[in-house]
């Protein structure tokens, strides 16, 4: 049986990456969500009044697939699976 892990005081980015586990974050080389020239997700979330992409009714959107000058952080197959599950 697989268990979900709960970690207190965890920093999570707008797109859902757990910053606390990110190698760049751990060595203080992370530029963070804003300003970040490689990602427009934080600006999009702010415009929509949400904190995380997962809260958006359009998730996953083209930004998650690497469009609109964003880094691709999730596997395409996983995004397709989520899209199918959520949108039916």
Residue 66 predicted with pLDDT over 80? yes
CA distance 46 to 61: 15
Give the pLDDT of residue 3.
Answer: 64
Cβ–Cβ under 8 Å, residues 36 and 46: no
Give the pLDDT of residue 49.
Answer: 95
Q: What integer is the mean pLDDT of 21-33?
A: 81
Give the pLDDT of residue 1.
Answer: 60
Cβ–Cβ under 8 Å, residues 33 and 14: yes
pTM of the shown model = 0.73
Angle at 76 between CA 80 and CA 1, to 5 degrees: 75
Highest average pLDDT, of 6-15, 34-43, 47-56, comes from 47-56
């Amino acid at each position: 049986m697989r268990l979900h892990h709960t970690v207190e005081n965890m920093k999570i980015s707008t797109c859902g990456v757990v910053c606390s586990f990110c190698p760049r974050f751990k060595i203080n080389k992370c530029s963070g969500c804003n300003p970040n020239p490689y990602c427009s997700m934080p600006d999009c979330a702010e415009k929509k009044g949400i904190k995380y992409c997962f809260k958006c009714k359009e998730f996953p959107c083209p930004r998650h697939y690497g469009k609109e000058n964003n880094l691709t952080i999730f596997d395409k197959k996983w995004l397709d699976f989520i899209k199918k599950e959520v949108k039916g």
